[in-house]
């Protein structure tokens, strides 16, 4: 079919430590820490698992792009990655969501599990374009820089994930990313139990940071992408200058949604950014960040 | 080719991966690497910025060592260099190249013009470290049933292929062009490719990896030809063997007849090998080409022995036969009827056989991309294209591909040669012409850029480009020279090493 297509590719990065996996829209950076032989075996396992993931997902793509509803048919997927996606969006099924909201995180989780199987490692992470699955052995921790990828690359701070914390996934969603959003958040970063859960929550919180405002331009998703899982729903195309009060109101809505998710145990902590304003919800993020007025 | 299927609504279907995105005009696919521009599918990789390691107390430390475990999205402390990967192109180049950036290097204001070249004239020179016979010189190299190149002049310890080129890309059938493009793209992006030489071997190749010839992975290059091997190890064999035959497809060496044996005062052993004698102790064509001992078709070494002279040889004579890589070796003693009998190899000889192996470098496949940047691409750099050519010639402008050093051929135009292994991964793309798309950067002092008629108004600070959300950061390959070191008077354009 595709004469010049490049299949799944795996290579060590120039630093000789990190593994780079790429296939179509999936671009993963993997790093494991442990005895060299274990790391090598782990990388081989990750690579082997990665080789078929995209084809598995594509085979169920039409169903994965449909709205998730809490019905048996909606949950019925053949591929393990697709099942992770469905499981991650299931708790959010009271609003519009498709399993695609968790695709990047689910791929990261799937590759991480393959990497870990039977291996003895200290730490490992799989970073799928900002959606990150983590492994920490008892006593280990990992520090991550949290950035808002917006017009300016601005560091928001650092988070330290300890073994004892129920956090094995970090995801960032927002404008400037590849996926469409109903909302206007510049960046939402979520800590959750795994990458798929974090991805789903970050996607939905990105939608939740929103207001009606004439400076916000929206268009039906299918006008932009004929195959979008969001159909004719209107997605944000551009955001003009917003006054301070509007920014605060949009963030308030996002914070309310995040707090509800936090109460329902769907996330551990979240940080939401818009127009230089930053709000923090739950735990995990440093105190130095401006906190939401609870 | 169906690369860019266009339907009525102006939607292009990308088949670069199984997702098969349908892309509307002006939009990109799910990967953000392919987009529909005016109904045409174009590659749109995020810009690749290579970061040089920051030097600390004279020691090179990896970039982001403080944030060690993170795939950094935070800007580097060291210096940055913008590569042409993903920069796009303005073909047919009537306007400035996509990125003309300035940065400071040791106080000198440097300008780098960054673009992706569409190379309709491009080919690969592939060096395969092996003495095995892969096919006759000039034999066609076939990929998926299409001719994509040929076997060219063999070099020391290696076989050479010339692949791709304009005649195969656009001079033959459409299928030939597409297969050639796909094959070149794979090799340039450090992928694995399977080729068949007409009347020769089946080759599996990947840049930086050992070649696989007829299903057998080549391990080592030979230490030298048979004659050279004799010269190198004669003294170490002396006293432990009465005759040594180094079997080699090119020149088989016979110790006692060889200058080296004569020098040691060894007496003739009366063992005559097949083939044509070149000079004493050096024989051509002792057997056919093949994948046996030393690149011959011999699997049983005595097959190269034509006669054993009863007037010269003696019972108990110790004969070592070994290949030029030390991979094959056997030890014989002549019995009372002067017939060679395979025997256990004495330890001193086994040690030398092992040493031959130790002196053989790992056999690799290396892929050099050769392309002409002398055409309209120059117009994206300057309003007066020939001045760029001259500036490169005068070594005022340094040319790099994805940051990797290039060799510029003498003579007219800017015909460059670059080792794809020194370039970042997946640096190449293609257009359906078919032609390859590769990154190319021209770096020079700001005043030199002005002098050659450059687009001074289009210069942007590197930091501005780095701030773009799509910029991707990568580490700098420490074995590549830093392109922003101003060219001195002495080095040639694109000085590599």
Q: What is the mean pLDDT of residues B193-210?
A: 95
Residues in Cβ contact with A43 at an 8 Å cutoff, skipping those fewer than 6 apart: A12, A19, A30, A32, A115
Q: What is the mean pLDDT of residues B353-376?
A: 87
Kindly determine whether residue A3 and residue B178, on different chains, have CB atoms separated by under 8 Å.
yes
| Nearest-Cα residue of chain A relative to residue B72 | A145
Kindly determine whether residue A153 and residue B16, on different chains, have CB atoms separated by under 8 Å.
no
| Nearest-Cα residue of chain A relative to residue B70 | A144
Q: What is the mean pLDDT of residues B424-436?
A: 82
Query: Which ipTM did the prediction report?
Result: 0.78
Q: Which H or E run includes B154? A: strand B146-155
pTM, two decimal places: 0.50
Instruction: State whether residue B465 is helix, strand or coil.
Output: helix
pLDDT tens for residues B45-89?
555 666 554 333 222 222 222 333 333 333 333 567 777 666 655
Lowest mean pLDDT among A159-163, A268-272, B112-116, B492-496: B492-496
The predicted structure's pLDDT at residue B374: 66
**CA-based nearest distance B432→chain A, Å:** 10
**CA-based nearest distance B335→chain A, Å:** 51
Phi, psi (rounded to 5 degrees) for B284:
-90, 155
Separation between Cα atoms, residue B397 and residue B400, nearest integer Å: 10
Residue A51 forms contact with B (CB below 8 Å): no
pLDDT class for A130, splitting at 50, 70, 90?
confident
pLDDT tens for residues B292-344?
898 899 999 999 999 999 999 999 999 999 999 888 999 999 999 999 999 99
Whether the Cβ atoms of residue A222 and residue A213 lie closer than 8 Å to each other: no
Which residues on B lie below 8 Å from A20 (Cβ)? 425
**Which of B15, B475, B477 minimises the CB distance to A5?**
B15
Please check the confidence at residue A78 and state whether its pLDDT lies above 80: yes
Whether the Cβ atoms of residue A286 and residue A158 lie closer than 8 Å to each other: yes
The predicted structure's pLDDT at residue B56: 31
Kindly determine whether residue B469 and residue A151, on different chains, have CB atoms separated by under 8 Å.
yes
Separation between Cα atoms, residue A177 and residue B324, nearest integer Å: 57
> Which is more confident, B14 or A83?
A83
Phi, psi (rounded to 5 degrees) for A5:
-65, 145
Which residues on A lie below 8 Å from B477 (Cβ)? 14
Nearest to B120 by CA among B165, B86, B81, B88: B165
The predicted structure's pLDDT at residue B456: 83
Please check the confidence at residue B282 and state whether its pLDDT lies above 90: yes
The predicted structure's pLDDT at residue B67: 31
User: In chain A, positions 99-158, which contact chain B (CB-CB < 8 Å)?
Assistant: 123, 125, 127, 130, 142-145, 147, 149-153, 155
Instruction: State whether residue B351 is helix, strand or coil.
Output: helix
Q: State percent of chain B over pLDDT 90.
A: 45
Separation between Cα atoms, residue B390 and residue B230, nearest integer Å: 49
pLDDT tens for residues A138-160?
999 887 766 544 433 344 556 78
**Which of B2, B18, B27 minimises the CB distance to A55?**
B18
Kindly determine whether residue B30 and residue A25, on different chains, have CB atoms separated by under 8 Å.
yes
pLDDT tens for residues B132-170?
889 999 999 999 999 999 999 999 889 999 999 999 998
DSSP codes of every residue in A91-158: GGTTS---GGGGHHHHHHHHHHHHHHTT---SEEEEEETTEEEEEE-TT-EEEEEEEEESSSEEEEEE
Strand residue runs (E) in B52-98:
55-56, 59-60, 80-82
Lowest mean pLDDT among A100-109, B39-48, B272-281, B373-382: B39-48
Kindly determine whether residue A226 and residue B30, on different chains, have CB atoms separated by under 8 Å.
no
């Amino acid at each position: 079919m595709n004469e010049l297509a490049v299949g799944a590719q795996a290579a060590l990065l120039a630093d000789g430590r990190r593994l780079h996996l790429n296939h179509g829209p999936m671009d993963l950076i993997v790093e494991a820490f442990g005895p060299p032989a274990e790391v090598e075996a782990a990388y081989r396992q990750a690579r082997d698992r990665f080789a078929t993931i995209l084809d598995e997902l594509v085979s169920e793509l039409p169903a994965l792009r449909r709205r998730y509803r809490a019905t048996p048919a909606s949950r019925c997927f053949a591929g393990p990655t697709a099942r992770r996606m469905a499981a991650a969006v299931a708790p959010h099924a009271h609003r519009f969501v498709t399993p695609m909201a968790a695709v990047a995180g689910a791929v990261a989780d799937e590759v991480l599990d393959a990497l870990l199987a039977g291996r003895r490692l200290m730490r490992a992470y799989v970073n799928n374009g900002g959606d990150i699955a983590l492994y920490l052995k008892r006593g280990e921790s990992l520090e991550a820089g949290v950035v808002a990828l917006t017009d300016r690359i601005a560091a928001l701070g650092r988070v330290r994930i300890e073994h004892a914390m129920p956090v094995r996934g970090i995801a960032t969603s927002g404008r400037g990313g590849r996926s469409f959003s109903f909302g206007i958040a510049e960046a939402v970063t979520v800590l959750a139990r795994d990458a798929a859960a974090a991805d789903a929550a970050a996607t939905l919180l990105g939608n939740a940071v929103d207001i009606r405002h004439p400076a916000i331009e929206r268009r039906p998703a299918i006008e932009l992408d004929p195959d979008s899982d969001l159909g004719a729903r209107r997605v944000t195309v551009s955001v003009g200058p917003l006054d301070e009060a509007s920014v605060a109101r949009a963030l308030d809505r996002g914070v309310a949604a995040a707090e509800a998710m936090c109460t329902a145990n769907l996330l551990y902590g979240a940080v939401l950014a818009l127009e230089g304003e930053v709000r923090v919800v739950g735990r995990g993020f440093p105190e130095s960040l401006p906190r939401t007025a609870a | 080719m169906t690369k860019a299927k266009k339907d009525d609504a102006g939607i292009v279907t990308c088949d670069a991966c199984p997702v098969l995105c349908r892309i509307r005009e002006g939009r990109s696919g799910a990967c953000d690497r392919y987009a529909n521009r005016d109904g045409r599918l174009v590659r749109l990789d995020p810009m690749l910025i290579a970061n040089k390691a920051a030097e600390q107390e004279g020691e090179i430390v990896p970039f982001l060592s403080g944030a060690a475990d993170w795939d950094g999205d935070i800007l580097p402390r060291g210096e940055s260099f913008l590569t042409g990967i993903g920069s796009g192109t303005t073909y047919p180049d009537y306007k400035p190249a996509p990125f003309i950036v300035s940065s400071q290097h040791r106080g000198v204001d440097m300008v780098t013009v960054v673009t992706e070249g569409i190379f309709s004239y491009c080919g690969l020179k592939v060096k395969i470290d092996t003495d095995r016979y892969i096919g006759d010189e000039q034999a066609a190299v076939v990929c998926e049933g299409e001719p994509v190149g040929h076997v060219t002049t063999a070099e020391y310890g290696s076989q050479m292929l010339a692949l791709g080129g304009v005649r195969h890309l656009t001079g033959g059938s459409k299928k030939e062009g597409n297969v050639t493009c796909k094959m070149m793209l794979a090799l340039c992006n450090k992928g694995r490719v399977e080729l068949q030489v007409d009347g020769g071997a089946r080759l599996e190749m990947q840049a930086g990896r050992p070649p696989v010839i007829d299903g057998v992975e080549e391990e080592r290059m030979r230490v030298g030809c048979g004659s050279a091997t004799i010269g190198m190890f004669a003294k170490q064999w002396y006293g432990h063997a009465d005759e040594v035959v180094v079997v080699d497809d090119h020149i088989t060496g016979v110790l006692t007849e060889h200058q080296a044996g004569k020098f040691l005062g060894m007496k003739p052993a009366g063992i005559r090998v097949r083939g044509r004698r070149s000079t004493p102790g050096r024989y051509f064509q002792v057997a056919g080409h093949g994948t046996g001992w030393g690149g011959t078709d011999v699997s049983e070494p005595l097959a190269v022995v034509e006669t054993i002279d009863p007037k010269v040889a003696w019972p108990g004579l110790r004969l070592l036969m070994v290949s030029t890589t030390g991979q094959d070796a056997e030890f014989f003693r002549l019995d009372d009827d002067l017939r060679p009998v395979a025997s256990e190899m004495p330890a001193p000889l086994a040690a030398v056989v092992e040493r031959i192996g130790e002196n053989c470098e790992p056999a690799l496949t290396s892929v050099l991309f050769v392309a002409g940047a002398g055409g309209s691409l120059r117009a994206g750099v300057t309003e007066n294209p020939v001045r760029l050519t001259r500036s490169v010639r005068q070594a005022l402008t340094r040319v790099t591909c994805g940051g990797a050093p290039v060799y510029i051929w003498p003579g007219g135009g800017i015909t460059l040669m670059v080792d794809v292994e020194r370039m970042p991964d997946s640096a190449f793309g293609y257009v359906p012409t078919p032609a390859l798309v590769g990154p190319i950067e021209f770096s020079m002092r700001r005043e030199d850029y002005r002098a050659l008629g450059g687009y001074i108004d289009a210069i942007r600070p590197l930091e501005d480009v780095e701030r773009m959300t799509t910029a991707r950061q990568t580490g700098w390959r420490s074995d590549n020279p830093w392109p922003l070191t101003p060219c001195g008077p002495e080095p040639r354009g694109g000085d590599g090493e």
